[in-house]
Amino acid sequence: MDRSASLAKASKGLKRQVVQGIAAVLCTVLAAVAFPALGSGLPESSALIARYCEPEDGLRRGVTEAWCAMELSRIRLRGSGEDGPEESVSLEVLVAADERSRLAGYQWIDPALAGSTATLFLFPRPVHGAFHMCNVDAPLWIVWYREDGSPLDVALMLPGQDVPAALCRDLYAPRRPETYRYALEIGVELAQRLGLDRQRLSRLRLELEPWMNEAR
């Protein structure tokens, strides 16, 4: 191959790389615009939950009937960042909307599953009270929200003793003497992947949806 042919081929290859590079950048920008709240690339919780609650052999392990009976939904946390711009995080959650599911929570759930999922607790009215961590084998973040969706307090809850809930002393309650209407428990591993630390969790509001009033 002569020199002119080599230069022409090199030029063509360079143009192809430039075009591919521009296309990659455009795809990234378009994805960020179309899905500004999702950009984590995380697998959906529904697939992970299905593997535990609907195993191929029909034998459930590391989950409870009450936990698997919770419905799955999606919530959005919104707020202003440290420098002012709006920030938003969207995530799938199990919904604890009745007394049975609220009492069950993450008790006796496989720690790998608890660490990679989140549960939103709904109450029919503003309440006081503490959450316990007995029979829970994975650390969880908890955020209590007021009736208007604003965060009341945040705590990192550590695994507790394996004792009946009525005897549990591993309790966590908001430090402020106010009522809350909603509470979000999120596995530490999932929170890390979403970039949710104590500071962000204490800043982001829960975006309220009509179905959140269906607690009983």
SS3 label, residue 207: coil
State whether 24 and 124 are in the same domain: no
Residue 190 and residue 130 share a domain: yes
pLDDT reported for residue 88: 94
What is 10-32 written as a DSSP string? Answer: HHHHHHHHHHHHHHHHHHHHHHH
pTM of the model: 0.78
pLDDT band (50, 70, 90) for residue 33: very low
What sign results for the dihedral spanned by CA atoms 41, 44, 47, 50? Answer: positive
In the prediction, which pLDDT does 57 show?
86
Do 1 and 78 share a structural domain?
A: no
88 Cβ contact list (under 8 Å, min separation 6): 36, 37, 76, 77, 78
Mark whether 99 and 174 lie in a shared domain: yes
- Classify 135 in phi/psi space as left (phi over 0), alpha (psi -120 to 50) or beta: left
Find the helix or strand (DSSP H, E) in which 172 lies.
strand 171-172
CATH number at residue 76: 2.60.120.1140
Report which of 86, 97, 110, 91 is spatially closest to residue 38, judged by C-alpha positions.
Answer: 91
With residues binned 3-state (H G I as helix, E B as strand, rest as coil), the percentages for the chain, rounded to 5, are: 35, 25, 40
Q: Which domain holds residue 16?
A: 1-34
What confidence category does residue 28 fall into, taking pLDDT thresholds of 50, 70 and 90? very low
Q: Tell me, yes or no, whether 16 and 57 share the same domain.
A: no
Mean pLDDT of 72-88: 84
The pLDDT value given to residue 83 = 63
Q: Look at the chain and report how many structural domains it folds into.
A: 2
Q: What pLDDT shows up at residue 29?
A: 31
| C-alpha angle 177-96-128 in degrees, rounded to nearest 5 | 15
- Tell me what pLDDT residue 38 has: 35
Task: Encode pLDDT of 136-187 as tens digits.
Answer: 999 999 999 999 999 999 999 999 999 999 999 999 999 999 999 999 999 9
What is the per-residue pLDDT for 46?
86
User: Which band of pLDDT confidence, cut at 50, 70 and 90, is reported for residue 6?
Assistant: very low
CB 174 within 8 A of CB 167: no
Torsion of CA 62, 50, 188, 96, to 10 degrees: -90
Q: Are residues 94 and 165 in the same domain?
A: yes
Facing residues of 151 across strands?
145
What's residue 16's pLDDT?
A: 43
Residue 156, SS3 per DSSP: strand
- Mind listing the pLDDT tens digit for each residue in 96-136? 999 999 999 999 999 999 999 999 999 999 999 999 999 99
| pLDDT for residue 58 | 84
For residues 42 and 25, state if they share a domain: no
Are residues 67 and 89 located together in one domain of the fold?
Answer: yes
Euclidean distance between CA atoms 212 and 214, whole angstroms: 5
Predicted confidence at residue 66, as pLDDT, reads 95
Confidence of residue 13 (pLDDT cuts 50, 70, 90): very low
Whether residues 24 and 45 fall in one domain: no
Clarify whether residues 26 and 48 are in a common domain: no
Measured between alpha carbons, how far is 9 from 30 in angstroms, rounded to an integer? 32
Q: Does 184 lie in the same domain as 88? A: yes
Q: What percent of the chain has pLDDT over 70?
A: 78
Residues 127, 150 within the same domain = yes
Helices (H), 54-134: 65-68, 99-104, 111-115
Residue indicated by tokens 């950048």: 25
